[in-house]
């Protein structure tokens, strides 16, 4: 599959809304079903400098974002989150997005530690993160509630040596 990776921009809002409306996307995030387009437009009021999207044509098919910790004692750390459209999974989109954001983190921001949470039943994502050097540090029981049940999550991190 051919796709591009670039910085997100405001013209991506409608396509991002469609991505974040997918049932399987919602299932693997903390997002609630039935997102509101007006509420989602407010995300561009925040700092989007560390937010990349994968696009196929005009459609956003995946996203990854990185937030650097603001505390001076944790400024070497970042929090990572990502998602890929169900129709584009297992086709390299997640690997390319993760590779690009790690390059940004390691070579431009000089972050030492990256952290993320992933549901324990999201085997594909766990494999992807492990492929890029993330390790499971712990487990959060009943971490979130969704689809009528409590979900456990792994706490994973990657230390840039």
| Distance of alpha carbon 18 from alpha carbon 30, whole angstroms | 16
Tens of pLDDT, residue by residue over 9-46, are: 999 999 999 999 999 999 999 989 998 988 888 888 88
Tens of pLDDT, residue by residue over 41-70, are: 888 888 778 999 999 999 999 999 999 999
**Tally of domains within the chain:** 1
| Distance of alpha carbon 130 from alpha carbon 111, whole angstroms | 18
Structure tokens, 46: 């925040």
Tens of pLDDT, residue by residue over 71-106, are: 999 999 999 999 999 999 999 999 999 999 999 999
Structure tokens, 157: 């991190």
| Distance of alpha carbon 84 from alpha carbon 104, whole angstroms | 19
| Distance of alpha carbon 80 from alpha carbon 98, whole angstroms | 9
Q: What pLDDT score was predicted for residue 21?
A: 94
Question: Which CATH number covers residue 64?
Answer: 3.40.630.30
pTM equals: 0.93
- Residue 117 structural domain: 4-159
Question: Angle at Cα 59 formed by Cα 54 and Cα 61, nearest 5°?
Answer: 40
Are 86 and 20 in contact by the 8 Å Cβ rule? The answer is no
Q: In what order do the strands lie in the sheet with 59-68?
A: 4-7, 51-56, 59-68, 77-84, 113-119, 149-159, 135-146
- What is residue 24's DSSP assignment? H
């Amino acid at each position: 599959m051919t796709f591009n990776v670039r910085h997100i921009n405001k013209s991506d809002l409608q396509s991002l809304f469609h991505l974040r409306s997918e049932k399987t996307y919602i299932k693997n995030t903390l997002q609630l079903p039935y997102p509101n387009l007006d509420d989602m437009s407010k995300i561009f009021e925040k700092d989007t400098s560390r937010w990349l999207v994968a696009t196929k044509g005009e459609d956003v098919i995946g996203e990854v974002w990185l937030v650097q910790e603001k505390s001076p004692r944790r400024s070497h750390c970042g929090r990572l989150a990502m998602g890929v459209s169900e129709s584009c999974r297992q086709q390299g989109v997640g690997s390319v997005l993760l590779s690009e954001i790690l390059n940004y983190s390691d070579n431009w921001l000089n972050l030492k530690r990256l952290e993320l949470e992933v549901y324990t039943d999201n085997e594909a994502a766990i494999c992807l993160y492990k492929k890029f050097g993330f390790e499971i540090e712990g487990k959060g029981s009943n971490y979130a509630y969704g689809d009528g049940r409590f979900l456990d999550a792994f706490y994973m991190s990657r230390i840039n040596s």
